[in-house]
Amino acid sequence: MARLDSLIIFTTVVKANNFTNAAHQLGLTPSAVSKQISLLEDKLGVRLLNRTTRSVSPTEAGQLFFNRCSRILEDLEEAEHMVKDLETSPRGTLRITATPTFGRSMLMKIFSKFLEQYPNVNFDLILADKGLDLVREGIDLAIHLGSLQDSRLVARPVAKQKVILTATKQYLDEHGYPQKLGDLYEHHILMVSGIDFAEPRWIKRFLKEAGLQNKDRRFTVNDLDTLCEATMNDMGITALPYYMVREELASGKLVHLLPEIIFPSRTIHVVYPENRYLSAKSRAFVDFMAAYFEEHDLDKTG
């Protein structure tokens, strides 16, 4: 049996979690399917599937092989569509990873608009605070904030993450509006800790310049969404990425404080492996995301 056929059989078995169901989908007998999987394992010299009497599941090696096989078959399908119709729109599943905060704050809006233009694309979103191995996890694109350490990855900048000092109008009406940096000492301060957005160097510099090194924080948390929620509930003053709060600023719920203070901005990149062919759907999404940020001025605070 051809190598491509064995890949199709293997991916079908993994998706079906069962030899019998996979055989039915493929028009083969369960014994024929099981034999092909065994031959494939013998050729690779590694066990790909854990077998029980009722189901199968991929081993660690099997999952890695499945991710790569799925990509090969999907790329082949896309290539066939492109050959049959050179004007076909992007199609297939885009597997993307991003931080939970960025995913919740921005990606749903971008996905919704993208699907209006490219209805044949599906999204598989993985939210993770730490970077994932894109090749190992079978991920097409990653949304990355800040500098990139892995030289095996290509990073396209799409926007800047601006950070602003903010609080609710209600909190400020009750506690006063700071007119200069030193005035912050008289206010409740909310802080984020332990995440990439809060780079310790500029946090420490800001605290020193504001004279806040020894001041107790009203609230400290290692999650940006929770910090934003605390701010929205009138608990105090904090620094947040502009993209998280732009709607609340526009509505007047939040106030941009001391706009003359410029926090260091971080670049938002779309990242993909250096040696991977960038599919039509991936190219379309990267271009769309860059255009979306430019159109909506999400890196501007003024």
Whole-structure pTM value: 0.61
CA distance 75 to 204: 47
pLDDT value, residue 46: 94
Q: Of 64, 28, 19, 118, which is closest to residue 110 (Cα–Cα)?
A: 118
pLDDT confidence of residue 199:
56
Q: What is the pLDDT of residue 276?
A: 60
- Signed CA dihedral, 103, 109, 110, 113: sign only: positive
So what's the pLDDT on residue 23? Answer: 92
Q: What confidence score (pLDDT) does residue 209 get? A: 74
**Residue 181: what pLDDT?**
86
Instruction: Give mean pLDDT in consecutive 10-residue pieces for the chain, a chain of 302 residues.
Output: 80 92 92 92 93 88 92 78 60 89 87 93 89 80 76 80 91 94 89 64 70 81 89 94 89 94 82 74 90 73 46
The total number of residues written for the chain in this structure: 302
What is the structure's pLDDT at 84? 56
163-257 CATH:
3.40.190.290
Distance from CA of residue 29 to its chain's centroid? 41
CATH second-level architecture of 3-82?
Orthogonal Bundle (1.10)
Residues of the chain with CATH 1.10.10.10: 3-82
DSSP assigned state of 57: E
**Residues carrying CATH 3.40.190.290, the chain:** 163-257
Return the CATH class of domain 89-160+267-296: alpha beta
pLDDT at residue 248, as a whole number = 94
Q: What per-residue confidence (pLDDT) applies to 149? A: 64
Cβ atoms 75, 4 nearer than 8 A: no
Q: How far apart are the first and last CA of the chain?
A: 64
What pLDDT does 85 receive? 46
Contact assessment for residue 142 and residue 272, using Cβ atoms and an 8 Å cutoff: yes
Q: Where in the chain is the domain with CATH 3.40.190.10?
A: 89-160+267-296
